Structure formats: structure tokens, C-alpha cells
Structure 1
């Protein structure tokens, strides 16, 4: 009987770390687009993954403002992503300088690189970018 109880305790303690890790944990953090114009802070939004503009350069702010998106800081670019598997998520991306939403996928290439892809017309026309992880926001 003690052996069964001991195994149950070991199994329960092993399950805790796995349960504590949420699907978006690998993507949580700060990411910079390839143009170094926008930084996004990714993290949980309920049971899904989202990402908000944490920093933008003057040109990105101006482009967004021309489309009626002002202020740009705090806008949710990555919306309602759900995991497809361990390294892929599906959701919606908002493009402020177009004031449009597109279906999107995120692929974790490695710990420090994400491929963000947005598509329209049922996935026939797509554009992707590789974002890189950053440790802190650029100076204003």
C-alpha cells in the first residue's frame, strides 16, 4: 500500500510543472519586427495568446495615425491565438497601418525567432515576417 501511495505522490509532483506551463509560455515576452519599428509584448489573454504594441518608432506611429489608430502603444496586434501544436498557433493579426485584421499563424522557429504570417482571401495571399526576441524595449 505504501508503494502505491508513494507512486501517487511522485506522479502528482511530476504533473505539477507540466500543468503549470501554459501553451503560450514559449512565446511570452518581447518581440521586435524585422524593420525594428515595432516591439510587441506577447502573453496570455484569458486562455489564449495575444500581443500588444509595447514600443513603436515615430514612423510606425505616424503610419498608424494616418489610418485612425492612435495611440499605437497598447494596441493588440496578435489576437486570440490558440495552439495548433507545440510550435504553431493560429489567430488573428491586426495591421494598424492598414486598419485591417487578417487570419494568422505564428510558428516558433527557435527560442529567439518567431515566424508571423498573415493571410487574406482564404489563405491564398499571405505575407510573413520573422520577429526576434528582445530582452528590453529600445530607448524612446
Structure 2
């Protein structure tokens, strides 16, 4: 009887450790560097508190002008911000395949979206969707950089 009970306790401990590992690893599939659909850009997805955010690391225009500013921003007070390092995706939560959050921002155009979703199609393909309202959305497909 005792060995049977120990067996169940051992299985329970292993399952608990596995569940904690999965819970802690959920965003790992999303974290890292992603090549954007436009401008051969690079966005780094990183943890920001309990959520995931994304910042600009590189783009064709930044290679030409590393000191590029956020000149297309609709808010004049923000036009002096440097594009390199600019957080363009904020507060995404969920997983392991789909995260929702926002806002999202495109420094190339100055366009923003209040909400959006990030969907891992596979380990190397990320669908990035930003929406002004439920039916007015823009989507890009990004590829993981190894």
C-alpha cells in the first residue's frame, strides 16, 4: 500500500513540475528577434512585466540613418524620439499560440492601433494584427531570426 501511495505522490510531483515549467515557458515561443514584412526590419519581442512587448532593433531606414526620429508621429511632442529602441507593441498577454494586447505603432507611417493580436503560426512564423476597430485591421507576417 505504501509503495502505491509513493508512486501516486511521485507522479503528482512530476506533473506539478511539468505544469510550472510549461506555464513559465509559454511566451518563450514569442520572445526573441523577428524580421518584419517591410523594410527588412527587426523587432525584439521581450518581457515587460507580466506581458510581452516589442521594440525596433533595425530597419533599412535605420541603416541609412541610425539617428532616425519618429517624425511621422501624430503627436508633435513625440517626434523627437529615436526610432531605434522604440517600443511599438505593448502589453500582450495570453499564449501559448495567441496573445492579445495593444497598443501597436508603426513608426514608418505614424499609424497606430489600439488593440491587436500576435499569433504563432509555427515556431518561425508570427502573424501580427493591429485593429482600429474590430473590422478595420492590418496584418503582417514576421519571420523568426535564428
TM-score, normalised by the number of residues in structure 2: 0.77
| Contact in 2 for aligned 1:39/1:56 (Cα 8 Å) | yes
Compute the RMSD of aligned alpha carbons.
2.4
Change (3 A) 1:88 1:47: same
Change (3 A) 1:55 1:117: same
Taking the aligned partners of 1:75 and 1:87, their CA distance within structure 2 comes to: 25
Partner of 1:138: none
Rg larger in structure: 2
Gaps of 5+ in 2: 74-78
Gaps of 5+ in 1: 136-140
Taking the aligned partners of 1:74 and 1:46, their CA distance within structure 2 comes to: 17
Partner of 1:74: 85
| Contact in 2 for aligned 1:106/1:117 (Cα 8 Å) | yes
Higher strand proportion (structure 1 or 2): 1
The correspondence for 1:40, drawn from 17, 40, 43, is 43
* Structure 2 residue matching 1:35: 3-state secondary structure: coil
| Contact in 1 for aligned 2:69/2:83 (Cα 8 Å) | no
Partner of 2:105: 94
TM-score, normalised by the number of residues in structure 1: 0.80
Residue-by-residue CA offset, 1:40-85 (whole Å, 9 max, x unaligned): 11122221111122222326964734431531122212211111x5
Number of paired residues?
A: 133
